[in-house]
Amino acid sequence: MTQVIIVGFVCFLCPGMFNALNGTGGGGQLDPTAGNNANTALYSTFVVFGILGGAIVNLCGVRWTIFGSGFTYALYSGSYIYLNHTGNSSFTIAAGAILGIGAGILWAAQGMIMVSYPREEEKGHYIAIFWIIFNLGGMLGGILPFAINYHSDSGSLNDGVYIAFVVLECLGAFLGLALAPPSKVTRDDGSSVVLVKYTNLGTETMEILKLFINPLMLGLLPMCFTSNFFYTYQFDNINGALFNVRTRGFNNIFYWGFQMVGSYAISFLLDYSGFGRKTRGYVAFGIVLVFFNAIWGGSLALHNKYPDGLPLNDRIDFKDSSRSSGPIILYIFCGVGDALYQTFAYWIIGALSNDNQLLARYIGFYKGMQSFGGAISWQLDAKNVAPKNQLVANWVLFALSVPSMLYVVWRIKEHSEDQDVRVKTDSDLEKYASDVAEDKTSAVAN
């Protein structure tokens, strides 16, 4: 639990701040073009390093990979200060590409810790705890632009907000050093979290290639692709297009805050011992299905009311309750839906195995394919694809992901076959061999 809490606070300070910045629309800029292009670069490199991230974490360990990755978030936030003063987006786009490398590795490490450390019957609870801490970062990141820009509405965030993001993200990077190696982590029942065999570069290369012929991973692919695709529409074409800058921060406080509610609520179902694991998967699938269709239906109604967005001098302010209440409530429900979707996806992956090296690869595949969808969606917005077409694309992609999502749930077993495999990893291999030899010597003596 300590490890999950620590990695939760790392993500509170790094991806949480990034989410808050992205959630303001266009990276907090009046013109979203630079932010959209930076996100395209980010998710393009994230595709590659998301897939490779599990192997990198397995070979290099969680502490130093998270430590190094954290600084790429600070570099990205800092690049907007340069953009504010020069209007040149090249540094921001390059920083986005570098962040994609760091984020792919960080999320592989985070996912491995979150879904392989808990026992099978408490994975939903641990995912929810992480999601609550992580989204506190998004809430804090929403408070910063709301407070700093409360009396100013230039349309873009000022340097002070970006500097605050940089400082917090650097703190998150250093916090990664507080994590323990998996070989030294035990659960509260005294069992070790190490469930894997010795690995090396050749093994990791072959195992990554096998992911692309694994029926379960191919079944997850549409769900992975869709899982971040909707951010562009929600951040840029709802929050960014309809609200003034202080209200965007205000909205993000609740968008990320209600993510905590959504994740915590569904965790009770995912860990409920009164139903079998597959039955819980079917019920959670039904909830996600209904919720997302309701979200896209509401988004269509809002789009029909404001088909071209709103001009800068007529953006909605949170104090104008006659105009703000409906769109804000919809945006909040978008946050709840995101939490339900992501928690369910992580739970499915965690239900496929307890092997932490295998799960690091699975999470890396999930994040890589997720980023593939994200790269396309941000570029669609950068190319000024009509908001309604983006909305339709989101709804269609979700519909297409439903059959394969159901297939993977159908393949879930009541207990993972590898749950009793306990073989030491790389750092403990020599000690493990020594212990075995000592046991044999003792047995012969007896």
- Residue spans per domain, the chain: 2-180+196-429
What pLDDT score was predicted for residue 101?
95
- Length reported for the chain: 446
pLDDT confidence of residue 433:
40
Q: What is the pTM of this model?
A: 0.82
Which has more confidence, 23 or 395?
395
Q: Give the CA distances from residue 421 to residues 113, 182, 354, in Å, rounded to whole numbers and listed in that order.
A: 17, 15, 9
What's the rounded Cα separation, in Å, for the pair 173 and 168? Answer: 9
Query: In the 8-state DSSP scheme, what is residue 426?
Result: G
pLDDT confidence tier of residue 24, bands split at 50, 70 and 90? low
The Cα–Cα gap between 284 and 164 comes to: 38
Distance CA 10, CA 81 (A): 23
Q: What is the mean pLDDT of residues 117-139?
A: 89
**Mean pLDDT to the nearest integer, 108-124:** 90
How confident is the model over 291-317, as a mean pLDDT?
91
Highest mean pLDDT among 15-29, 77-91, 125-139, 326-340: 326-340
Residue with tokens 């960080």: 106
Q: What is the pLDDT of residue 70?
A: 94
**Residue 231 reports pLDDT greater than 70:** yes
165 pLDDT higher than 50: yes
Structure tokens at 239: 């929050």
Share of the chain above pLDDT 90, in %: 54
Structural domain 2-180+196-429, CATH architecture: Up-down Bundle (1.20)
